[in-house]
Amino acid sequence: MIQRLKGTRDFSPEEMSKRRRLESILREISLRYGFREIQTPVIESSELFVLKSGPGILEEMYVFKDKGGREIALRPELTAPIIRFFVNELSNYPLPLKVFCISPVFRYEEPQSGRYREFVQYDVETIGAETPEADAELLILASDICSKAGLKNIRIRIGHVGIIREKLDEAGVPAERQSEFLHLMDRKKQDEASKFLTDLGIARDVADSIVGVCQISGGAGVLDSLKGERADYMKKVISILKSSGNRFFQVDMGVVRGLDYYTGVVFEIDAPDLGAEKQICGGGSYSLSRLFGGTYVPSTGFAFGFDRLLIAMEKAGWKAEKEHIDAFVLAVSAGESGKMMEIAAMLRDNGIITEADLMGRNISKGLKYAAARNASFAVIVGSKEMAAGKVTLRNMKSGKQVETETSLLPELIKKGGK
């Protein structure tokens, strides 16, 4: 037997029906905010991701040479492909360009519960706006999604990496060393982060005060001690969120998103019920377009881990509607199978979800299968009834059977047999 690859999954019909339902919730909400759906290829030049995240990303990606000797990667995320697409082909669209996609991504990491090598991200980007309103809109959308998903126990932690970088600039930390500090803070290693600064010759009290800023967390009021343009920007974002009446938000200046390209507001959403892999979403404002050969275009975006969102929803009690079919058509004997297929086609033409018996079952076995498929009705095609232009319609829930003209079937089934 050939086994499925580690960190990948097969999805059963029941699982697919849940996944499609969540996709349609995400699509519907995104469209309501004016975001437009796009798609990019599964494979890209590895260089795209190296430009964005540095050569370290090669370790985490599926990379291979194609037959033309090109270095190819299975995309590990969607932001870089979207901005590449924007720079190459979409830059003439009126800005901001608000887009989203729901697509599989691939990362070569150690699988565990909630962590896969192939998983789906729901990614949203607002390209070309650098305003508190644009950041706040994305945060409100993310929070709206959590509410519609029925998640109650979540936290949206919001920081501003630009404020931290400004403090590091003022202290004289060279730009190329700042990421090391941010990576340590991202992993909540405050002592090591402080030592890193003092090792660079920064005075202890200055180092402590920078680490102190990263430890600011709580309600909107905790930002009062921060001054300057960036702090005012952050305060405006928080004030918009406050007026939106949402209760998931909290300031957490320790959110620095260990990636170098973030420039301003950054945020993470945790669903603590998920345990170790509790982060369901991450995002923030950044600029990548210049790196990919375009002009400076500020953007802001987020990515939800679709699979983790689904697990969190199920833990919160969400149940997708059980799969069902409207009608199962079966023939009493082989002689009526042509008519059975004809009736099935007629019902489908009328928008009724219909299966026909493909196994030559007898009535009792046919009804058993119809019940297993959660059919609302069985349509039994027998020679005697057929001679009178009729069939038997059985309500699978009540067991009640009526003889009816074939032409009346669509209406009766749509009305629930009444």
Site residues, ligand AMP (CB under 6 A): 77, 107, 109, 115-116, 119, 121, 279-282, 303, 305, 307-308
Residue 107 labelled as part of a binding site:
yes
Residue 211 or 269 with smaller CB distance to ligand AMP: 269
Please report how close the Cβ of residue 307 comes to ligand AMP at its closest, in angstroms: 5
Residue 108 or 292 with smaller CB distance to ligand AMP: 108
- Separation of alpha carbons 137 and 155, rounded Å: 17
Residue 262 labelled as part of a binding site:
yes
Residue 116 or 249 with smaller CB distance to ligand AMP: 116
- Separation of alpha carbons 73 and 232, rounded Å: 40
Please report how close the Cβ of residue 68 comes to ligand AMP at its closest, in angstroms: 29
Closest residue (Cβ) to ligand AMP? 305
Please report how close the Cβ of residue 339 comes to ligand AMP at its closest, in angstroms: 50
Please report how close the Cβ of residue 302 comes to ligand AMP at its closest, in angstroms: 8
Residue 107 or 157 with smaller CB distance to ligand AMP: 107
Please report how close the Cβ of residue 50 comes to ligand AMP at its closest, in angstroms: 16
Strand order across the 63-65 sheet: 43-45, 71-74, 63-65
Residue 21 or 115 with smaller CB distance to ligand AMP: 115
What single letter denotes the amino acid at residue 102? I
Residue 99 or 207 with smaller CB distance to ligand AMP: 99
Residue 257 labelled as part of a binding site:
yes
Taking phi first (over 0 means left), then psi (-120 to 50 degrees means alpha), and beta for anything else, what does residue 154 get?
A: beta
Please report how close the Cβ of residue 125 comes to ligand AMP at its closest, in angstroms: 12
What Cα–Cα distance (Å) separates residue 274 from each residue in 44, 252, 303?
A: 32, 20, 17
Residue 78 labelled as part of a binding site:
yes
Annotated binding site for L-histidine: 77-79, 107, 121, 125, 257, 261-262
